A and B are shown apart, each in its own frame.
Chain A
């Protein structure tokens, strides 16, 4: 398995501000994934973060709103920019340990925008 640490675990933010979420893995991984779970909904993939290249965003998600950094093989950040109440969600990072198809998730960041 993989040990994935996400910070912060929760936050309450004012609309119009930005929040950066960190994801740290205990082993080197090629790809890291960021998912969003809106209240009462399922998980939706935001983007794939690859080390050394631009993140790849899914339909409906743009870099200006969700900039991602991937400075090395064990760390990534997701920023939620210019937040509105509609951004209130749980944000989760996920990895597949090298050589494994099984995905593991961080504990999530519960974001409330007021």
Chain B
């Protein structure tokens, strides 16, 4: 099956710093999403981004499907950005089933 690798596994920042999270995948995908899991376990949709670039406030994401990677940028980080960030992909023909990476644990210190 498809392999989804996220890096770095852990990241510690000071409030106000910028960061880039990476997601590499081993095969062609129909769909790629970024999620933020809050401390209560809920998955928050950040981006649906099978290709191209999107921005939402301090967050932006870029997916280069031909090179099989996606990047999530967090600018001017805040303590509320802390949590686990997951990349998830849908392989062609899988009928919306998602394969998740192992996540990046982000800690933003005040």
How many A-B residue contacts, CB cutoff 8 Å? 59
How many residues of A are in contact with the other chain, CB < 8 A?
A: 23
Select the residue from B48, B97, B102, B103 with max chain A CB neighbours within 10 A: B97
Q: Is there a chain B Cβ closer than 8 Å to A1's Cβ?
A: yes
B103 touches A1 (CB 8 A): no
Within 8 A of A (CB), among B34-81: 35, 40-43, 45, 48, 50
CB of B101 within 8 A of CB of A42, answer yes
Give the interface size bracket for B toward A. 20 to 34
Report yes or no: B33 in contact with A102, Cβ–Cβ below 8 A. Answer: yes
The answer to whether A1 and B90 have CB atoms under 8 Å apart is no
- Cβ–Cβ contact A90 & B97, under 8 A: no
Report which of B41, B96, B101, B103 forms a contact with A103, defined as CB distance below 8 A. B96
Query: In the bound complex, what is the Cα–Cα distance between A70 and B35 (angstroms)?
Result: 26
Quote the shortest CB–CB distance from B35 to chain A (angstroms).
Answer: 8
B-chain residues with CB within 8 Å of residue A108 when the two chains form the complex: 40-43
Given known pairs A42-B103, A43-B86, A48-B95, the reply for A102 and B45 (CB within 8 Å) is: yes
State whether the Cβ of A13 lies closer than 8 Å to any Cβ in chain B: no
Interface membership of A92, Cβ < 8 A: yes
Q: Are A42 and B86 in contact (CB-based, < 8 A)?
A: yes
Please give me the residue from chain A that is nearest to B87 by CB atom. A42
Sample 11 A-B pairs with CB under 8 A, ordered by A number: A31-B95, A31-B96, A42-B86, A42-B101, A43-B86, A45-B98, A94-B98, A101-B31, A103-B88, A108-B40, A110-B41
A: which residues have CB within 8 A of B?
1, 31, 33, 35, 37, 41-45, 48, 90, 92, 94, 96, 101-105, 107-108, 110
